[in-house]
Amino acid sequence: MGEPEAVGNRSKRELRRTVLSVRRTLTPDDLQAAALALARHVLELPELSGATTVAAYVSVGSEPGTGPLLEALSERGVRVLLPVLQEDNDLDWALYEGPQKLVAAGRGLREPSGRRLGPEAVTQTDAVLLPGLAVDRSGLRLGRGAGCYDRVLARLAAHGAQPACAVLLYDGEVVDRIDGEEHDRRVETAVTPSGVHRFGVTEG
């Protein structure tokens, strides 16, 4: 697989632009190989060994692929929750019932067509697998800027919920430092095609 080059340290806007540019160079074979490697590493996480409910997401475009992972979790008998984007950029959740039950949604997303479980459903999960564009060595995650998953992480903290939280990335997207803001939340783990990265996370 042609691995993306390390994206380095720079402003959030520039970092987003660089990561997305690099991702656009990935071939279908690169995407498939990365998706299979990510699934393997995620499934080997000790935090998921006894998980009964996991929040994940449906990858689109050149995002690190989640298709094989969603299928593998379902085959394990894990209850998988997928996000449903609301108008205010908050996330509702619905059960994953197979790729045939995913429907096209706004912003090019694909979402489950089943019953909505409410934004609080994520607080009852054993693990949350998040999308992202980069993460730094302190666990600070860079998303696309809408704040959807910052709200999710804040909701977990507000409810005292402590599921394992991991962001799925490509190699080269774990960087030394991202300039954070007050609302930014950290994760303790990143998974890339080459393996698992752990961070010492403290919330201030």
Kindly write down the DSSP assignment for every residue of 96-154, as one continuous string.
Answer: ---GGGEEE-GGG-EEE-S----GGGGGG-SEEEE--SEEETT-BEE--SS-HHHHHHH
**pTM attached to this predicted model:** 0.89
Residue 80: partners with Cβ closer than 8 Å, 6 or more residues away: 53, 54, 55, 56, 70, 73, 74, 95, 96
Q: What is the pLDDT of residue 145?
A: 73
Domain ranges in the chain are 12-198
In our burial notation (b when 16+ CB lie closer than 10 A, e otherwise), range 156-187 reads beeeeeebbbbbbbbbbbbbeebebeeebbbb
Question: What is the longest distance spanned by two Cα atoms in the chain?
Answer: 42
Radius of gyration of the chain, Cα coordinates, nearest whole angstrom: 16
**What are 1-18's pLDDT values in tens digits?**
444 444 544 588 899 999
Residue 157: CA count within 13 A, CB half-sphere: 14
φ/ψ of 165, rounded to 5, equals -120, 125
Lowest mean pLDDT among 23-37, 96-110, 122-136, 187-201: 96-110
Lowest mean pLDDT among 98-102, 144-148, 173-177, 190-194: 144-148
Average pLDDT over the chain, rounded to whole? 89
Determine the 3-state secondary structure of 69 from DSSP.
Answer: helix
* 66-70: average pLDDT: 97
CATH tag, 12-198:
3.40.50.10420
Rounded Cα distance between 16 and 24, Å, is 12
